[in-house]
Amino acid sequence: MEVGDLTAERLAQLIQRVRQNPSYRDNARYFQKVIARTQGLDLAADLIERAFKTNQIVDPARHPGVRRGERQGEQE
């Protein structure tokens, strides 16, 4: 869904979907564990940025370049 197409009613529906679907909670717990084992907030920011850019969940186990300071197109 494009941000420009988002209405208050549609947002409420999406929030309800997230709250009622246990897979969202399971994925959030998975990422909570990944973040705790790695570089915390820096990694979380990188994962969120990449997820928005690709419109997909990014699994850092399959994308080893997603680490602190190694955002897509950047190098330390």
Amino acid, single-letter form, for residue 59: D
Across the range 6-35, mean pLDDT stands at 91
Residue 54 in any domain: the answer is: yes
Residue 3 in any domain: the answer is: no
> pTM of this prediction?
0.41
Residue 64, pLDDT above cutoff 60: no
Residue 45 in any domain: the answer is: yes
As for how many domains the chain has, the answer is 1
Residue 63 in any domain: the answer is: yes
Residue 1 in any domain: the answer is: no
Domain that holds residue 37: 8-76
Residue 23, pLDDT above cutoff 90: yes
Evaluate the CA torsion angle 6, 9, 11, 17 in order and state its sign.
negative
Residue 2 in any domain: the answer is: no
Residue 65 in any domain: the answer is: yes
Residue 44 in any domain: the answer is: yes
pLDDT score for 2: 76
